[in-house]
Structure 1
Amino acid sequence: MALNKSVPVRWQVLEDRFYDQYHQWSQVEDAVITMGVTDYVQDSAGDILYVSLPKPGTELKAGEPWGSLESGKWVGQLYAPFDGVVIAANEAVEEAPGVVNQDPYHKGWLIKVKPAVPAGFAVSRLMGPERYRAMLAELETEEL
């Protein structure tokens, strides 16, 4: 399948983010990367009832879990796409997890990370929006 912006999918994919195979997004802001889960995750999970996030100062190791989301029908681990240190966790989503369902790309952000390498390099192995849309299109086709 050719990668292009016109791949139709029912989930929102923002152009200013990078995505990983776990359906998490990363957004570079200077030397910091803000991370969260995608519209696909919140839609698939249903109403998110609990969010567990690491405290600032926690070291992340690529491929290892760093937190979790829970709904009435689903428990999902969150995995680090790169090494780094958590510098902020979104306490608002821990107090009101439904924010992740309502606004996964903005108010529902989960953590801010100072990557172990320059931020641009840290996200260089992640998917851009076109590639992530193509992955979602394949998932959508499998569901039919």
Structure 2
Amino acid sequence: MAIEPIHRWKVVPGRLYDRHHQWVLQEDVLITVGVTDYTQDTAGDILYAALPEPGTVLVEGMPFGSIESGKWVGQLYAPFDGVVIVANALVQDDPQILNRDPYGQGWLIKARATTSLENFLSADAYSAWLSQQDVL
């Protein structure tokens, strides 16, 4: 899978993105959720991650966890309504995996969605949106 640089941030094709700089990937009935390269880059060295327990109900737009660096604490927002099936223990044990591999081993949760993913941005649309923000 190719990773295309957008200015200095990578956006992986084949995933969907939200305006909280999170990505989702549907795999059969489960949806994997993670943070983007933009998130990990602007946060700096991520030192702590708080992720939900399996069975936690997700409500779209509401916080479900957080990540922290030495300079920043950021909420993670549920990208859809659903239920958490598994949280990534590797991220909780080694939060800096988010800096090293946000699109691979640094995924956050796998969940079952009860709402549609129709409001997400494609990789191209997210790249265009990102390039228009005051983040460059």
For the criterion TM > 0.5, the same-fold answer is yes
Assess if the C-alpha contact under 8 Å between 1:7 and 1:137 holds in 2. Answer: no
In the alignment, what sits opposite 1:123? 117
In the alignment, what sits opposite 1:3? none
In the alignment, what sits opposite 1:81? 79
TM-score normalised to structure 2 length: 0.93
Assess if the C-alpha contact under 8 Å between 1:89 and 1:110 holds in 2. Answer: yes
Once the 2 structures are TM-superposed, how far is the Cα of residue 20 of structure 1 from its aligned partner? Answer: 0.3
CA RMSD after TM alignment:
1.5
Within 5 A, what are the aligned runs for 1:44-123?
44-117=42-115, 122-123=116-117
Aligned length: 133
Change in 2 beyond 3 A, CA 1:9/1:67 = same
Bigger Rg over Cα: 1
CA–CA separation in structure 1 for the residues paired with 2:56 and 2:19: 22
SS of the residue 1:40 aligns to: helix
CA–CA separation in structure 2 for the residues paired with 1:102 and 1:7: 15
Residue by residue over 1:3-33, the C-alpha shift from the partner in whole angstroms, topping out at 9 and shown as x without a partner, is: xxx9942211011110001000000001110
CA–CA separation in structure 2 for the residues paired with 1:143 and 1:59: 32
CA–CA separation in structure 2 for the residues paired with 1:10 and 1:132: 14
SS of the residue 2:118 aligns to: coil
**More helix, by proportion:** 1
5+ residue gaps in structure 2? none
The percentage of counterpart residues that share the same residue type is 53
Deviating beyond 4 angstroms after TM superposition, the runs of 4 or more aligned structure 1 residues are none
